[in-house]
Amino acid sequence: MAKAWQIWADEPQAEGTLVKRAKKELPQMESTKQLVRILRPLYKPGMRVMDVGCNTGHYLRGILKLDENVRYTGVDAYAHYINQAKKIYRDFPNVQFHVKDVFKPLFPKNPADITYCCNVILHLPEFRAPLKNILASTTKVSIVRTLISDRATIVKAVEGDEFESNGEPKRFVYQNTYTPGMVRNFAKTLGWNAEFIEDEYNPKVLASEFGKLKANTGTNILGGRQVDANIIFNWKFIRLTRRG
């Protein structure tokens, strides 16, 4: 039985635009474009790349611009996304998709050179176990995009209008923000350095997608900052590399 925060478990439509992006029916997300820019100097042909929380594999469209023969593995906790991804990319021999929960070990015996996990960790109840599992399946560099700010906040964005008698929402989405220090210190205990990279996005694209594609839900722009309903989204990319 899915937990109250696991909205992707039984709402495959929760990320409706992503399947269209994977099929090239919609353009790449702004975060895909920046991820590709970050990976370009790090990637060398022959390297293995793993996308954690890949949904229907839409980031792969951007990664294929780095190398059309990229050795790519996408993992996501939910089979309905992975099955769609397998169908969309069935003609790509170097591409694999697997159902994997980031709270459990991924591929520690068969790690990837480069891993990335974008827009996932903010939605999980905590970041430490997922980050540990991602790094345990990475040999060189991992890129994580999540919410980072000077103050950590654990946020439950309520879905629907039903509550338990103790006041907990019956369904919600975590939109958690952590501080740079929390991530840096935890990464250090695992033997990794964490560097923070400013999120670059085109506010016009996000604002127009909010209206046109997302029917006035999801991330919008207010005063030049990204917001989702009541919450400011302080996105950062984190580059994690092994300590020397």
Ligand X SMILES: C[S@@+](CC[C@H](N)C(=O)[O-])C[C@H]1O[C@@H](n2cnc3c(N)ncnc32)[C@H](O)[C@@H]1O
Which stretches of the chain bind ligand X, using CB under 6 A? Answer: 8, 15, 18, 53, 55, 76-78, 81, 101-103, 118-120, 123
- Kind and range of the H or E run holding 144: strand 138-148
Cβ-based nearer residue to ligand X, 193 or 208: 208
Cβ-based nearer residue to ligand X, 125 or 242: 125
Find the shortest distance in angstroms from Cβ 162 to ligand X.
Answer: 21
Find the shortest distance in angstroms from Cβ 34 to ligand X.
Answer: 11
Cβ-based nearer residue to ligand X, 218 or 242: 218
Output DSSP code: residue 28.
P
Output DSSP code: residue 231.
E
Contact 105, 133 (CB under 8 A): yes
Angle at alpha carbon of residue 146, lines to 117 and 168, rounded to 5°: 110
Cβ-based nearer residue to ligand X, 205 or 242: 205
HSE, CB side, 13 Å, CA atoms: give it for residue 68: 1
Rounded-to-integer distance, Cα 187 and Cα 172, Å: 28
Find the shortest distance in angstroms from Cβ 123 to ligand X.
Answer: 6
Find the shortest distance in angstroms from Cβ 18 to ligand X.
Answer: 6
